[in-house]
Structure 1
Amino acid sequence: MNPDFKNIVMTPDLYRYLLAQAEPPGPVQRGLIERTRALGRPAEMQIPHEQAILLTLLTRLTGARLVVDVGTFTGYSTLAFALGLAAGGRVITCDVCEEWADIARESWREAGVADRVDSRMGPAAETLAALPEEPRIDLAFLDADKPGYAGYWKQLVPRVRAGGLLLADNVLYEGEAADPEADGNGAAIRVFNDLVRADPRVESVVLPIADGLTLARKVHDDDLPASV
């Protein structure tokens, strides 16, 4: 095996095995998955369950009390965060589309976490701009329009506390992110990935989970290079 190229091809059998190693979805999660699948093509926007498990775990590991979820859709990621919140915590989730909002709200109520969710409708840039500028967000997640990622990142990083996490979904964009000739969303993701990689305020890695997930930790001021 080449030590510089250690990976594995995800076959259907291996993927089923991987899923079997994660906590299975509960009744509310299964219901939300089924309702989302019934929407047809838009269902591809829902994060997979194994990714939701990771989001809940990261929320618990950081002891998060304030999470910002950019891109609600039918509420699966918001539900994952709400399940992992520290006591008294809340998730601010935002989207521009009311079409699926009722599905999301019903699932949060069924899971008993509706009181932890602050759902806001409107352009994400406006929602983020209205948040306090002092760094108090523990965890932020981007899963919305890809051309908007770079702008959302610039708004969020100053508002995330030192040691907090910033996550971004679809950063491989079905492989298009690796193509220098990518256009559209693929090109926007390449711009975003370059932005994150060059940002001295965070330490980051891209995980090959689902369609690619950026995991970035905001560093403490004392950890910043002297030139910053």
Structure 2
Amino acid sequence: MSRTQHNHGHSIDERWAREEQYHASFLLKNSIHDEALEFCLKNSDDHGLPHIAVSGMEGKYIHLQARVIGAKRILELGTLGGYSTIWLARALPEDGELVTCEYSPMHAEVAGQNIEHAGLSSKVKIVVGPAAESLAKMDPEHKFDFVFMDADKAGYPVYLEYCKTLVRKGGVIIVDNVVRQGRVSDLSVTDDENSNGVRKMLEDLKDSPDFEATTVQTVGARSWDGFTFVLRL
């Protein structure tokens, strides 16, 4: 079996990358040379942001999910350079709003440049600071339809708790990076705060009267990971 090495010592089957690229050649035909997305990636790279944004296929997936439920208010936790933000903001109607929370002021500044370049500043509000503090200040009367959670994994249980009051019934929450190359299910790994955070979130979801959820594992050109799809009951 042909394999290529991934970072952190994890190997990736080369067929994963080939399959992703093949499907993308058909399904991302209008996005492969999308000037705003290309600018976002290059500008983020030029400013030294880590290469941990969602892939194009993943970006389109959350974009379509937001459109499917007719989202008018979207919450994003973890802006980075705004690549996923652009995908999500494009799913909104003209009067829609996206609030995205970013811990790093520098990342938020770069994301602001990228979002402005994409012509989406009127729909996007960037909130800078620890996500939990930002969530605590939000008005639970002004609920969100859709949440994309891709921030500090150790904080996932806290963020999910806030979603009980901030997300409308029937709303959708997509929680990214919940498999982490198999580290979450490897209980011998006890010193990884991110994996511990995901485990706690899964425990909280197990018998929750507020949520129904499932996890889907993913493989691709960069990693073996997965996302948890959560429905607010």
Are 1:132 and 2:139 matched, yes or no? yes
State the match for 1:30 in structure 2.
38
Please identify which structure carries the higher strand content.
Answer: 2
Supply the RMSD in Å over aligned alpha carbons.
Answer: 1.9
> Which of these residues, 16, 19, 32, is aligned with residue 14 of structure 1?
19
**Runs of at least 5 residues in structure 2 that lack an aligned partner in the other structure:** 1-12, 220-224
Are residues 22 and 34 of structure 1, via their aligned partners in 2, closer, same or farther at CA, if it must alter by over 3 Å? farther
For the residue of structure 1 that corresponds to 2:99, the secondary structure is strand
Give the AA of the match of 1:43. P
State the match for 1:103 in structure 2.
110
Give the AA of the match of 1:194. E
1:210-225 map, 5 Å: 211-219=225-233
1:39-118 map, 5 Å: 42-118=49-125
Are 1:179 and 2:186 matched, yes or no? yes
Question: Under a length normalisation based on structure 1, what TM-score does the superposition of the two structures give?
Answer: 0.84
Task: Report the identity percentage.
Answer: 26
- Could you list the structure 1 runs, at least 4 aligned residues long, displaced by more than 4 angstroms after superposition: none
Which moved further from structure 2: 180-189 or 146-155? 180-189
State the match for 2:199 in structure 1.
190
Give the AA of the match of 1:84. A
State the match for 1:225 in structure 2.
none
Are residues 101 and 159 of structure 1, via their aligned partners in 2, closer, same or farther at CA, if it must alter by over 3 Å? closer
Question: What's the offset of the Cα at 1:38?
Answer: 4.4
**Alpha carbons 1:135, 1:158 under 8 Å: kept:** no
State the distance in 1 between where 2:217 and 2:27 align: 16
Give the AA of the match of 1:90. E
State the distance in 2 between where 1:89 and 1:132 align: 17
Aligned length: 210
